[in-house]
Structure 1
Amino acid sequence: MIHELQLKGYGEIEKEKLFLKSFESLYLLYSDKLILRKGKKQINFDDLLSVCQKNDSETLTKFLIYRDLKTRGYVVKDGFGFGSDFRVYERGQFGEKGAKFLIFGLNEGQQEKMGTLQKKIEQITQMGKEPVIAVIERRGEVIYYKINRMNFYENKTGLEELSQL
């Protein structure tokens, strides 16, 4: 069972045990593919979400993106830095090729500095991956935006004109 889950992209195996990320556990619990117990008490989705949010305030955002991508048929793994939340593999490519997309999530209305965004995009494209922003709307719907490198150039003539105002 452990190896079947790993082949489907869930968790990481260490010493014959499968370790799941919080968003993976939440997804499996949400989709009735996992039962969690603490002693004799069964832990439900809301209980686990509450515990996970104490450790990571972005847990719900990550879960919503993860759930959306999984229902679309993608294999999704945890991101590996550069501000990315997830690595996403093309359908049928998991285990054969590296991830094609690196996705980072934002909640609607959340602000991100342009310099920070530019740096993330630069690092992701240098790795040969496609950067994608996943925006969570207030209703929980996820909208994806593929983004490209961007450059900001100082317009000295424009600045001189502004200083004369």
Structure 2
Amino acid sequence: MPPTKLDPLNEPDFDMKAVEEKLPNVTGKLLENAIVVEKGFAGLVERSYGKETNNHLELSLVEALYLIEKDRLTLKKGRNTYTVESLLDYTNERDPRIREKYLVYRDLRSRGLVVKTGFKFGCDFRVYQRGVSVKRGPKAVGEHTKWIVFAVPEDYTCAFTELSRAVRLAHSIRARMLWAIVDNENDITYYEVVRMRP
């Protein structure tokens, strides 16, 4: 049975511009393995951006790219100030799928969804319903991860074992598994792959 092609993220219309206008303007530093914001980041934490650690906020690359595009983050390393394109170029060697990840992240955020990295889960993103405050520990039903997402280019190939692992991962955390396929025109199609028993 082929994977289901649909828009599993179909959500009612949402005015993301109003939300983005409330985001603070911050300045960050690009360190070797992190993007750090030291001041004025409380509004970002409230909207589930980054990870607050030792009186600063660590942003993922895709979060930084998104905030740069929205003119909410000025990112510096030494005398260099990064644009979306220059940061993509800088990080492409470390992560050849950074462009696809960013485009998918941007699409998910533009729908008003809460998006966190999925590194510790072995996926690209964990996605929560709109309005959920991400927290550790016990959660109510609606506070759990709703989707795990893999962002890949349209020419991506994988073994069935990789696909099976992804489905098992989603099933184990009671989430739905989505593959976000980014084509050459930067259009994104979401495929939900589910586990079925005969």
How high is the TM-score relative to the length of structure 2? 0.71
Mapped contact 2:101–2:152 kept (Cα < 8 A): no
Q: Deviations over 1:101-131 (max 9, x none)?
A: 1111121021111121012101211211111
Cα offset for 1:43?
2.1
1:110 to 156, 168, 182: 156
Cα offset for 1:82?
4.7
Aligned partner of 1:52: which letter? T
Structure 2 residue runs without a partner (length 5+):
1-39
Aligned partner of 2:59: which letter? L
Q: Deviations over 1:45-97 (max 9, x none)?
A: 22111111122111111101000101111110000445410000011123361
Aligned partner of 1:141: which letter? D
Which residue does 2:108 correspond to in 1?
A: 69
Aligned identity (percent) is: 32
Cα offset for 1:150?
4.6
Which residue does 1:162 correspond to in 2?
A: none
Mapped contact 1:103–1:134 kept (Cα < 8 A): yes
- Structure with more contact order per residue of length (Cα contacts < 8 Å, sep ≥ 6): 2
* 1:41-120 → structure 2 map (5 Å cutoff): 41-95=80-134, 97-120=143-166
Structure 1 residue runs without a partner (length 5+):
154-165
Distance 1:60 1:72 in 2: 19
- CA-based RMSD: 1.8
Say whether 1:8 aligns with 2:47.
Answer: yes
Which residue does 1:136 correspond to in 2?
A: 182
Mapped contact 1:118–1:150 kept (Cα < 8 A): no
Cα offset for 1:26?
0.7
How high is the TM-score relative to the length of structure 1? 0.84
The higher radius of gyration belongs to: 1
Distance 1:40 1:114 in 2: 46
